[in-house]
Amino acid sequence: MQEFEPKIVAFVCNWCTYAGADLTGTSRIKYSANVKIIRFPCTGRIDFMILMKAFENGADGIIVSGCHPNDCHYSTGNFHARRRWIVLRNLLNFAGIETDRIQFSWVSAAEGFKWADVVNNTVAAIKEIGPYENYRKIAVSTLFNEEGASNE
Amino acid sequence: MSRIGVFVCHCGENISATVDCEKVARISGELKGVEFSADYKYMCSDPGQTMLKDAIREHKLDGVVVAACSPRMHEPTFRNACAEAGLNPYLCEMSNIREHCSWVHPKSDLTTDKAESLVRVMVEKVKKNKALNSIKVPVTRTALVIGGGVAGIQAALDIANCGHKVVMVEKLPSIGGHMSQLSETFPTLDCSQCILTPRMVEVAQHPNITLYTYAEVESVDGFIGNFKVKVRKKSKSLDEHLCTGCGLCTTKCPQKKIPNEFERGLGFRPAIYVPFPQAVPNKPVIDRENCTYYIKGKCKVCEIVCPTKAIRFDQEDEIVEVDCGAIVLATGFDVLKPDFFPEYGYGKYKDVIDGLQFERLASASGPTQGMIRRPSDGEIPKKIVFVACAGSRDPAKGIEYCSKICCMYTAKHAMLYKHKVHDGTPYVFYMDIRAGGKNYEEFVRRAIVEDETHYVRGRVSTIYEKNGKLIVKGVDTLMGAQPVEIEADMVVLATAGVANKGSEELAQTVHVSYDAHKFFAEAHPKLKPVETNTAGIFLAGACQAPKDIPESVAAASGAAVKVAALFSNDLLTREPLIAVVNRQAPPVYSSCVGCFLCQSVCPYQAIEREEIKNRNGEVIRTLAKVNEGLCQGCGTCVALCRTKAIDIYGYSNQQVYSEIMALLND
Amino acid sequence: MKIGFYPGCSMKGGAREYQESVSALARVFDIELVEIPDWNCCGATAAHNLNKELSLSLPARIMALAEREGLTDIVVPCAACYNRLSLVQHELGADATLKSKVCSIIDLKYEGTTQILNIIQFIDKYITDKLEEKVVKPFNYNAACYYGCLLVRPHAILNFDRVEDPQSMDVLVTKAGGNAIDWAFKTECCGAGMSVSRTDTVARLSGEIMKDANDRKADFIIVACPMCHSNLDMRRPEINKYLGENITMPVLYISQVLGLAVGLDAKTLGLNRHMTEVIFPEKPVKAAADIPQKVVTTQKMEA
């Protein structure tokens, strides 16, 4: 049987974690190819809908990572992200969504090694949990069509 | 149907060593909406860029994806290339298949697959990209400098010498700040007044500088390039045009016993006064709280003696409106009131004074003409104790940070004392000597070695008076924590430097952030030390943190350069990746419901309230509106908006959703 | 009015006059002091140097007993006991795990709800308002109020007055008709428990305190701590030997001063129990020119 390769999407801020992931590259540190990055200006930009949209489209796990507290390029965006996560986690628990599948982290532009660790640990953790079949059953993914039109 | 071009870069072998670039280009070329695809050894090279430009023209591309290195590296390069080929630069995106793919994964089909999907993500994003134009904001080439100490003076002169107008607002009747109170300055011991007063005069005479003394900033509206500031010019009870500054009124005023603020209470002044002889402007103001006429309704001696009839008892405060493009905050610092320490007896014992009072005693223009004399009996103190860190680095009772200037000025005080009282003995109680700076350590060594200052490493526990002497009890931690008791004639407390009184209110008026100690906060502690988080507002000097004169001046010049750079164009150009609140045709107007949650989370005060009025001029809706000059594009408001009425260019909901769907649906 | 009373060891031994005067003063103001039944040692200076759990459990038990009796306030005249009880209340209040552990050790329910009052807080809360109307014999002397260390430190927890220049006892003495002098040794160390092991140290430290008060023409030193009292009073021969002087200035408890002012007699207040004989100066000198005067304020220093 083929090993389960989870699909993991990482939402990261442009200033710290994206640059940190660049550093992982420049340092040639190897990590699992399961994670793909989508760039945001700031973790403060990442709302509930974005995470839900990822699960709906078949993500098995999500990483959200930005600047360390007090290092935000926009001074407070990461605090809003953190606060939002606290609220969201309760909501997701209530809705029966597995919050273990969402990994929050602070990775600075200097933490190339840490980014590789975050990725590898998350991949290992999600492999452990298994594919997110339950969500997929109820997801409205049929709304996605080949034209690329969104369900806006 | 889109016409997107995909360009896959080999980056020499950096990408092609692990990713099959040709395959990526081929597969990408089959994607819907992709008109053209190619791979090339070095996309960023001249031939690479030429290929890109030719393809845009030839295939009439309406979007470009360059799969290469990190956009943090070459996004501007390729966007410029697109612009040169006539394609809006914001229709170009980069797929990071180097740092995020080829360099972090081994050569395998999986790695190539990942590169393909990263390209696909960007193709889908570009389909939703909008052509954007850089934002142009007009700039008023006038700077407002708040505070007329050495930092404000330096900033004002630097900006004015660049040919820009400057308005300087000073709270007190004269500019000069704390530096004008100092006797001599470390580490050169040159006279403070001698180096400062020429600068003060230059400010007053500079054709580009308008000086408002005895004035305060009342309100600040607008944004970078376009501030509207109201300045309250407090009434000086004087017609400044008629006054010649002869000073006759100040000598005839019957009120003579008002503690002189400039002399830190060690001298007296009349009710109509010039703060100090070298004041700029050298014209008096009436202190209405202490003036007999304002208290009792009669006196008017100054009016009678004034040869030019310049006194105006009924003069009122005046509000001046200033249009400016930039603001420099240079409001300086204050010292912690030593009554914080009852055990040191400041206020109880006259001969326990603070560092600024000692400066006045040591100053040739001070209350004792530069003789070091005890305030209590005028005797020359033979034993003097300087207590460093009086409040600094003391989380229990004072402040936790280091005030930075005290080590140096305490050494200077000890030296000045020794130079004036040759047979005297100076003691310094200290925690650590922090003399980091050009010629600073050498200066402290001179105080210790040449001027025989006794440095005792330890804190002072208590000071009390006994038989006319001040008993200073402390500990010498270098002598095995041995208790030390000194019978001193005078004690000088190096009280902590703290934020100026009212700095919190000013920060709120000007809309800048401040730290836990109420010092103004810089935008970045290392890379943006003179900027604030509010675009167009800069910091100079000790309003940011305790600073010595060289540092204050350096920061002021730094701020001045930032202002000059801002003023170097008629229009300010900014990246258009900012938030926008949607607008629709009436009667909907917008999906914004006017909850203004966005306003509460915006770190830049960029959300404004826009009132929608009907034909009768009645307000029917109040909607959020993003100020293009202030928005920095963080997107926090977008995530928070309940009705999704705000979106952000470059990272719009549509773009992000398309990316997610492309990424997960292969 | 019923208020809990924790005497501790000193009230029952060396400082009987302290308890006598506090009780007598309470009676004058119709306050019933209820001694906490089955009280135990507070642990004082020894326990917290030796065993953390013991040092927490001993005071916790005292407070638990008071809670069981339904007492909301406990007056703790001894400064050392007050210090221990307050610190333990603070520490257990900040750590629920520790609190439940201590509860299981003492096998009693402890909530930490009682208010621990030192003698000055007790007077402030229950007596000050009615004090001036009851003063029949103003304490017309120069008094040096000595606070010592245990009442005022650690400031962050006890939050007593101004830590380096306390005022509240001065205010009480002034209300009793006295003249609280300004002096320099209000919170200096008296030598405390060194009394037995290093009497020479106590003689020196207490001697400096004594000397400053004497130099500033105090008639009495006023204390609120049995330890301070014993060092300044009982160690007087050693002090005088160290100073090479013969200082006869008596040391009174604040409760004795107020007791005298409201007309209680010397015997009731236990003045006869002091080692240094309590002699009242013939002609009390008030506000002599050479005595430093000051404005006594009740303003508390902000933390």
Examine the domain organization and report whether C203 and C79 are in the same domain: no
**pLDDT at residue A84 is higher than 50:** yes
Q: Is residue B311 part of a domain?
A: no
Q: Is residue C92 part of a domain?
A: yes
Is there a contact between B660 and A57 (Cβ–Cβ < 8 Å)? yes
Examine the domain organization and report whether C15 and C101 are in the same domain: yes
Q: Do B462 and C164 touch (CB under 8 A)?
A: yes
The strand pair at B190-191 and B184-185 is best described as antiparallel
Examine the domain organization and report whether B156 and B254 are in the same domain: no
Examine the domain organization and report whether C76 and C158 are in the same domain: no
Whether the bond into B281 is cis, omega within 30 of 0: yes
Q: Which of residues 166-205 of C touch B (CB under 8 A)?
A: 182-185, 188
Per-residue confidence (pLDDT) for residue B398, from 0 to 100: 84
CA atoms within 13 A of residue B285's CA, in its CB half-sphere: 21
Shortest distance between the Cα of B645 and any Cα of chain A, in A, equals 13
**pLDDT at residue B493 is higher than 70:** yes
Q: Do A22 and B651 touch (CB under 8 A)?
A: no
**pLDDT at residue B123 is higher than 90:** yes
CA separation for the pair A106, A109 (Å, rounded): 10
Examine the domain organization and report whether C93 and C212 are in the same domain: no
Query: What's the number of domains chain C is made of?
Result: 2
What is the 8-class DSSP label of residue B522?
P
Amino acid making up residue B634 = C
pTM above 0.80, yes or no: no
Query: What's the number of domains chain B is made of?
Result: 5
Q: Is residue C209 part of a domain?
A: yes
CA separation for the pair B433, C294 (Å, rounded): 37
Q: Do B466 and C184 touch (CB under 8 A)?
A: yes
Q: Is residue B597 part of a domain?
A: yes
Q: Which of B342, B396, B471 sits opposite C162 (nearest CB)?
A: B342
- Burial class of residue B304 (count of CB atoms within 10 Å of its CB; 0-12, 13-18, 19+): exposed
Rounded to two decimals, the ipTM of the complex is 0.90
Q: Which of C165, C182, C212 sits opposite B343 (nearest CB)?
A: C165
Find the domain containing B230 and state its range.
142-234+317-332+500-566
Q: Which of A38, A58, A74 sits opposite B632 (nearest CB)?
A: A74
Q: Is residue C130 part of a domain?
A: no
Nearest chain A alpha carbon to B109 = A33
Q: Is residue A152 part of a domain?
A: no
Q: Which of C164, C212, C294 sits opposite B343 (nearest CB)?
A: C164
Q: What percent of chain B clears pLDDT 90, i.e. is strictly above it?
A: 83
Per-residue confidence (pLDDT) for residue B586, from 0 to 100: 85
Amino acid making up residue B246 = C
**CATH label of the domain that carries residue A71:** 3.40.50
Local confidence band at A1 (pLDDT 50, 70, 90 cut-offs): low
CA atoms within 13 A of residue B289's CA, in its CB half-sphere: 2
Q: Is residue C160 part of a domain?
A: yes
CA-closest candidate to residue C65, choices C40, C100, C102: C40
Please give the interface size between B and C, counted as residue pairs whose CB atoms are below 8 Å apart: 24
Of B320-324, B437-441, B618-622, C60-64, the least confident: B618-622
Examine the domain organization and report whether B187 and B326 are in the same domain: yes
Q: Is residue A151 part of a domain?
A: no
Examine the domain organization and report whether C113 and C162 are in the same domain: no
CA separation for the pair C45, A13 (Å, rounded): 56
Q: Do A36 and B640 touch (CB under 8 A)?
A: no
Nearest chain B alpha carbon to A77 = B636
DSSP helix/strand/coil, C136: coil
Examine the domain organization and report whether C103 and C62 are in the same domain: yes
Local confidence band at C290 (pLDDT 50, 70, 90 cut-offs): very low
Q: Is residue A85 part of a domain?
A: yes
Q: Do C301 and B343 touch (CB under 8 A)?
A: no
Examine the domain organization and report whether B12 and B60 are in the same domain: yes
Q: Is residue C297 part of a domain?
A: no
**pLDDT at residue B480 is higher than 80:** yes
The Cα-based distances of C144 to B73, B613, C181, C237, C252 in angstroms read 75, 75, 6, 20, 10
Q: Which of B533, B650, B660 sits opposite A57 (nearest CB)?
A: B660
pLDDT tens by residue, A54-68: 988 889 999 999 988
Q: Is residue C45 part of a domain?
A: yes
DSSP H/E element including B553:
helix B549-566
CA angle B562, B567, B572 (to 5 degrees): 100
Q: Do B636 and A45 touch (CB under 8 A)?
A: yes
Examine the domain organization and report whether C105 and C140 are in the same domain: no
The residues pairing with B5 across neighbouring beta strands, listed in sequence order, are B36, B64
C-A interface (Cβ pairs under 8 Å ≥ 3): no
Q: Is residue B259 part of a domain?
A: yes
Length of chain A: 152
Examine the domain organization and report whether C140 and C77 are in the same domain: no
CA separation for the pair B214, C36 (Å, rounded): 66
Examine the domain organization and report whether C35 and C156 are in the same domain: no
Q: Is residue B90 part of a domain?
A: yes
CA separation for the pair C3, C266 (Å, rounded): 25
Examine the domain organization and report whether B457 and B487 are in the same domain: yes
Examine the domain organization and report whether B482 and B513 are in the same domain: no
Examine the domain organization and report whether B121 and B92 are in the same domain: yes
Examine the domain organization and report whether C142 and C79 are in the same domain: no
Shortest distance between the Cα of B341 and any Cα of chain C, in A, equals 8
CA separation for the pair B555, B547 (Å, rounded): 10
Q: Which of C165, C183, C188 sits opposite B342 (nearest CB)?
A: C165
Mutate to test the interface with C, among B466, B469, B473 (most CBs of C within 10 A): B466
Mutate to test the interface with C, among B340, B343, B487 (most CBs of C within 10 A): B343
Q: Which of residues 430-459 of B touch A (CB under 8 A)?
A: none
Q: Is residue A71 part of a domain?
A: yes
Q: Do B471 and C215 touch (CB under 8 A)?
A: no
Q: Is residue C294 part of a domain?
A: no
Per-residue confidence (pLDDT) for residue C192, from 0 to 100: 87
Examine the domain organization and report whether C149 and C258 are in the same domain: yes
CA-closest candidate to residue B192, choices B283, B278, B266, B260: B278
Beta strands in B224-314 (DSSP E): 226-233, 258-259, 268-269, 272-273, 285-286
pLDDT tens by residue, B33-60: 999 999 999 999 999 999 999 999 999 9
Residue A92 or residue C97, greater confidence: C97
**pLDDT at residue A149 is higher than 90:** no
DSSP H/E element including B104:
none
CA separation for the pair B450, B541 (Å, rounded): 32
Residues of A in contact with B127 (CB under 8 A): 148
Q: Do C164 and B465 touch (CB under 8 A)?
A: no
Per-residue confidence (pLDDT) for residue A76, from 0 to 100: 84
Q: Is residue C226 part of a domain?
A: yes
Task: Summarize the confidence of residues B93-103 as an average pLDDT.
Answer: 94
Q: Give me the sheet containing A102-106, strands edge to edge.
A: A35-40, A8-13, A61-66, A102-106
Q: Of C87, C117, C147, which closes a domain?
A: C117
Of A63-77, B187-201, B437-451, C52-66, the least confident: A63-77
Contacting chains of A (3 CB pairs or more, <8 Å) are B
Examine the domain organization and report whether B18 and B38 are in the same domain: yes
Is there a contact between B277 and B210 (Cβ–Cβ < 8 Å)? no
CA separation for the pair A14, A19 (Å, rounded): 7
Examine the domain organization and report whether B203 and B327 are in the same domain: yes
**CATH label of the domain that carries residue C237:** 3.40.50.11810
**CATH label of the domain that carries residue C6:** 1.20.1050.140
DSSP, residue by residue, C181-201:
---S-TT----TTHHHHTHHH
**pLDDT at residue B396 is higher than 50:** yes
Tokens of B21: 């670039």
Tokens of B332: 């300086």
CA atoms within 13 A of residue B155's CA, in its CB half-sphere: 36
Mutate to test the interface with A, among B634, B646, B653 (most CBs of A within 10 A): B634
Q: Which of residues 12-71 of B touch A (CB under 8 A)?
A: 32-33, 70-71
Examine the domain organization and report whether B326 and B417 are in the same domain: no
Per-residue confidence (pLDDT) for residue A72, from 0 to 100: 83
Number of other CB atoms surrounding residue B343 within 10 Å: 19
Q: Do B343 and C182 touch (CB under 8 A)?
A: no
Length of chain B: 666
Is there a contact between B405 and B389 (Cβ–Cβ < 8 Å)? no
Residues of B in contact with C155 (CB under 8 A): 396
Find the domain containing A121 and state its range.
8-143
Q: Is residue B659 part of a domain?
A: no
pLDDT tens by residue, C265-287: 999 999 999 999 999 987 655 44
Examine the domain organization and report whether B362 and B436 are in the same domain: yes
Shortest distance between the Cα of A96 and any Cα of chain B, in A, equals 22
Tokens of C147: 């606070």
Query: What's the number of domains chain A is made of?
Result: 1
Q: Do C184 and B341 touch (CB under 8 A)?
A: no
Residue B304, chain A, CB below 8 Å: the answer is no
Contacting chains of C (3 CB pairs or more, <8 Å) are B
Examine the domain organization and report whether C100 and C56 are in the same domain: yes
DSSP H/E element including B145:
strand B142-146
CA angle B341, B480, C47 (to 5 degrees): 75
**CATH label of the domain that carries residue B455:** 3.50.50.60
Task: Summarize the confidence of residues C121-148 as an average pLDDT.
Answer: 93
What is the residue-averaged pLDDT of chain B?
93
What sign for the dihedral angle of Cα A120, A123, A126, A127?
Answer: negative
Q: Of C86, C117, C148, which closes a domain?
A: C117
Q: Do B396 and C164 touch (CB under 8 A)?
A: no
Residues of C in contact with B396 (CB under 8 A): 155-156
CA separation for the pair C57, C64 (Å, rounded): 10
Find the domain containing C148 and state its range.
136-273
